[in-house]
Structure 1
Amino acid sequence: MAGSTHTVTNQPPPLVGYDVFTADRALTEAVERHTDPELCDEVRGELAALGRASGSAQLHEWGTQANENPPRLRTHDRYGHRLDEVEFHPSWHRLLGKGVSAGLTAAWSRPAGHVRRAAAFLVWTQVDAGNLCPLSMTHAAVPALRSDPALAAEWEPRLTSMVYDRELRPARLKAGALFGMGMTEKQGGSDVRANATAATALAEAGTYELTGHKWFCSAPMSDGFLVLAQAPEGLTCFLVPRVLDDGSRNVFMIQRLKDKLGNRSNASGEVEFDGTWARRVGEEGRGVRTIIEMVAATRLDCVLGSAGLMRQAVAQAVHHCTYREAFGGTLADKALMRNVLADLALESEAATTLALRLAAAYDDGSEQERALLRIAVPAAKYWVTKRCPPVAVEAAECLGGNGYVEESGMPRLVRESPLNSTWEGAGNVQALDVVRALQREPQALNAYLLEVGKARGADHRLDTAVKDLLTELGDLDGVEGRARRLAERLALVLQGSLLVRYAPPEVADAFCGARLGGDGGAAFGTLPSSLDLASVVERARPQV
């Protein structure tokens, strides 16, 4: 029984029991903008249902439980037989099952599939980011498998299924399947052409035996994996099933699980192949080209995941400051705190708007939109994922000491925030990929310039930024050393163009001034006080 000195006052109510999707105005507007009007009600209803579940106390408890009880590896049974199984807390399976049933692996088979999935991915990240890894891998495997029509016909219905089947058994007997990926090796890292895993052809056409190791294997509990190995004609992509058609286990030895900074609910492992049966995907020697479509899709998921983490961090900060009182008023009404919150809100909205625009390009599928993706995805992946950690840290600070306490949920967001910058190619890899697109694919730059040009004349700071960018692009000598700067400017100009066209004037004005016009400082909370910051903060406030 609490004593009189422990009466709780001046503490905000928990941010639960609300619709995560509908409460996010930037997201709902983007979905409406990029969805056919005939589908819009259906898509909004579906996303609102997921949003209500995502904002419930029950699902947030599941997320907490999954992170407090991370996966465990069982290499052997009691008799010494190899098992190589990963055990998860029941809450992990509940979350993963709900993610599958919400269509997070089904974008390729549904109308407006990528926009509705992107919005769902952004919402679902705010419950627990860990279970998004197998959902992302499974979604992204589809375009890689389509390089082999027979394999695609066999596997795609399983991967796009909205049924979660957790049992390890032959995939042909399952109502739904999940995929993982194994590219990285000890000696190579991002340099996958240094991979040493060897593939030896078997008698049956298209089948091989793999021998080697993978330093990082995403989602090692999955039903199948896309991996890279050295075949006689060079680096090649392979499909490795976890269980063979006769019911026997494929040789897939999980040596250990990684002990990670964040992403604790998810399993990432080191695996060994020793006579492991595999099916070739695509042509021998063209493994990178085959798997690159998977990589592009997972890079967009990195952007979406970071946008989701930022949105949850900002929502928590604005919610706290709306209720918390200090020095004679609520924190949100204090000029300096309002400046900080508005600056964070700008970053979150810019990330969301850009991510949904890229998802819409996938749905469109035209040559010009594909060209835009070629340069915009690595630039967005570079910049949005780089902005996520400082947003999460600053948002946690808005809660004061409470934000440093695990019960607030903010430390989990902070630990999670650096992951997407590293996953699927760290910052230098993305920046250099942008440079390659600029040097080798002029149609990509043309598509980008056409996109940003749609806002021409609407904001003088944006126009100046575009002009300066063109000057910089005119000199690509020694560009490698400037690759990060180029990627950053490409992303910021694209975000500015989108916000000028689609966001409320107060948001676009603040973004162009602070991010393109030099009116903001290096730290958050340095926006000019002449801006309409109260409206920016109100727009970001989750309506509970």
Structure 2
Amino acid sequence: MSGSGFDFQHVTNQVPVLENYNTFTTHPHLHQALQAYGGDAAIERAIQLGRLMGSHDFQEAGNLANKYTPVLHTHDRFGNRLDTVTYHPAYHQMMATAIQHQVHSIAWTAPQGGYLAHSVLSYLKQQIDEGSSCPLTMTFAVVPSLKISPDIAEEWLPLVLSNTYDERHIPYYDKRGVTFGMAMTEPQGGSDVRANITHAHAVSPGIYRITGRKWFCSAPMSDAFLVLAQAPKGLSCFLVPRFTPEGNKNQLRFQRLKDKLGNRSNASGEVEFHEAWGRIIGEEGRGIANIMEMVRHTRLDCAVGSAATMQRALAEAIHHCRHRSAFGRKLADQPLMKNVLADLCLESAAATTLAMRLAQSFDEATTDETALHFSRITTAIGKFWNTKRAVLAMGEILECLGGNGYVEESILPRLYRDIPVNAIWEGSGNIQALDVLRAMHKEPQSMDALMQYFQRAKGQHPILNQHLQKIQQLLHQPADYELKARIITEKMALAIQAIELIHTAPALGELFCKARLATEGHLTWGTLEDGKGLDEVIAGVYTEEVSIP
């Protein structure tokens, strides 16, 4: 207490840190969606991981791994090539825990519902750190590409599916578990991988030497990478390990790490291949098709990850508004703020439902060909829509915390920087929209599956019926397809979200149809026209009451 009688040390009306909570049990809508899609077997795992991810220790691990970012070591002090990357111990802590809890492997090892289990576990893991989720995603997603070559799969899959994290920089065959990265894009081409000039020549059956340069190599400390290079018969896909089978350092030379907007706990590097040793996956000339199996699975995780990060930010905003007072009332009790939060929660619930529905379609696709075609086109739709909406929603969520959300001590600035990567990685918005068109033309079975899905939904809601009719009108204008590719993709995404919310949460489905389909949409959030039931909408995305025993 100073001489003036003012206590400068006592701070009032500030919000307690959101930590030591269960990120799964406090999210009723995620639990509801998981149950609706047949994911009951994953609930106990989700409760366990949610408890860890909400703890102080793991919240802090995410902060530390992003504050103390990876460092590239190109040479040792004697001038020998090292090409290693060191990380803060918190990064390894998150990787070890995620792998122990089968985030990367359960899709392939669970007797059923593996993709749903993977997606909900990824959703929970994503909320503490975007960067370490990158190598986890690629390690999960590499499996179908490896399976194209049975001899490669036999050697590598036991290590890929191991639930032991082994960070040592040693030959893969001496490790207890491995992680995978990928290197597709080059300076001159970017997403246009057909413009790649990195080349490969065979030195023995199935074995090639690769020379060239990659502009982005994700997770450079991985034990192996899928790499695209030009072979005599065209663009081909290769497995390139960090060490050759003889135990020698492979000729991958990392030039620098990217100084990125976000995703900073994860290293992304530029790499040169100097006659690097590699094994071809599949046949020459089939590189795009063979690596796209990996890409399709990483796109699922992009849709899941964006929904997860949006929800994590919203939990912060709701927590803040329930504890912070302004103008004589808690922020959460003020009608306009309640409208904003509920509208954002509607967005979050729709994104989460879409992500889990995509995961269910991957599970169904293992035994149903129609589901496989459905999953192929809806993955591009879901990746496009979830990643775009999350970027926009994050700005609004930031405003809910005002200045406290803008300072680096808050998690919000990190989430704000992190979330655009999902929209850019594995093909930005235009690529996804054009992939929808490609599926319509080259994989007509996928369009048939989607149209059958829409046909079955007719009659569920009059506003939805009108929206589906608009989609039909757009599809009757093939000359405008490329110009209107985003419009087509957007309307398809909204239709899927509406259908799935009507199925999983009818009250939310009703609100979604009125708020997102009845008009061309508002330009900001907080424009819901009916104030009934908003508290329930908000509580579905984050509740301080534990909803699951």
Question: Structure 1 stretch 168-177 or stretch 533-542: which is displaced more?
Answer: 533-542
- Residue identity matched to 2:142: A
Aligned position for 2:458: 456
Q: Distance in 2 between matches of 1:508 and 1:364?
A: 23
SS of corresponding position for 1:389? helix
- Identify which range, 452-461 or 335-344, moves more after superposition: 452-461
1:251 is matched with: 251
Letter paired with 2:66: N
Does structure 1 conserve the Cα–Cα contact (< 8 Å) formed by 2:358 and 2:382? Answer: no
Residue 515 (structure 1) aligns with = 516
Distance 2:95 2:79 in 1: 30
- Listed one character per residue, the Cα deviations across residues 23-76 of structure 1 (whole Å, up to 9, x for unaligned) are 11121112212236xxx2x52111101000000011111110000000000000
Residue 21 of structure 1 is matched in structure 2 by 24
- Hey, what does 1:376 align to over in structure 2? 378
Q: Secondary structure at the match of 1:306?
A: helix
Superposed, 1:113-512 pairs within 5 Å as 113-202=114-203, 204-365=204-365, 366-505=368-507, 507-512=508-513
Give the partner amino acid of 2:30.
Answer: L
Cα separation, 2, equivalents of 1:519 and 1:484? 14
The Cα of 1:6 is off from its aligned counterpart by 2.9
Shift of 1:244: 1.6
Report the Cα distance in structure 2 between the residues aligned to 1:261 and 1:246, rounded to whole angstroms: 39
- Residues 223-248 of structure 1: CA deviation (Å, up to 9, x unaligned): 00000000000000000010122221
- CA deviations on 1:339-374 (whole Å, 9 max, x unpaired) are 100110011111110111111111122111111112
Q: Distance in 2 between matches of 1:519 and 1:416?
A: 29
8 Å Cα contact 1:180/1:222 also seen in 2: yes
Aligned to 2:75: 76
- The structural deviation recorded for 1:510 is 1.8
Q: Which amino acid is the alignment partner of residue 539 of structure 2? A: E
Separation of aligned partners in 2, 1:206 and 1:510:
56
Q: Match for 1:10: what amino acid? A: N
Find the aligned partners of 2:124 and 2:403 in 1 and give their Cα distance.
27
Where does 1:23-38 land on structure 2 (aligned, <5 Å)? 23-35=26-38
**Does the 8 A contact of 1:454 with 1:497 survive in 2?**
no
- Residues 218, 269 of structure 2: 8 Å contact kept: yes
Question: Letter of the aligned partner of 2:114 in structure 1?
Answer: G
Structure 1 stretch displaced more, 102-111 or 293-302: 102-111
Query: What's the secondary structure of 1:22's corresponding residue?
Result: coil
RMSD: 1.4
Counterparts of 2:445 and 2:27, CA distance in 1: 34
- Among the aligned pairs, what percent are the same residue? 47
Alignment match, 2:48? 49
Alpha-carbon offset, residue 392 of structure 1? 1.2
Aligned residues: 538
Residue of 9, 23, 40 corresponding to 2:12: 9
1:57-100 deviation digits (Å, cap 9, x = unpaired): 11111110000000000000010000000010111111111111
Which SS does the other structure have where 1:80 is aligned?
Answer: coil
1:350–1:217 distance in 2 versus 1, CA, 3 Å: same
Q: Aligned to 1:526, what secondary structure does the other structure show? A: coil
SS in 2 for 1:346: helix
Q: Residue 262 of structure 2 contacts residue 417 of structure 2 at CA under 8 Å; is this kept in 1?
A: yes
CA apart distance, 1:167 = 0.8
Q: 8 Å contact 2:236–2:283 — kept in the other structure?
A: yes
Q: Is the 8 A contact 2:102 2:163 kept in 1?
A: yes
Query: How far apart, in 2, do the equivalents of 1:338 and 1:530 lie?
Result: 9
- Which contiguous aligned blocks of 4+ residues in structure 1 show a shift greater than 3 angstroms? 452-455
Distance 1:469 1:519, change over 3 A: closer
Q: Structure 2, unaligned stretches of length 5 or more?
A: none
State the distance in 1 between where 2:159 and 2:516 align.
Answer: 44
Deviation at 1:459, TM superposition (A): 1.4
Q: d(CA) in 2 for partners of 1:85 and 1:363?
A: 37
Indicate conservation of the 8 Å contact 1:147/1:282, yes or no: yes
Residue 540 of structure 1 is matched in structure 2 by: 541
For 1:530 and 1:126, locate their aligned partners in 2 and report how far apart those are by CA, in whole Å: 30
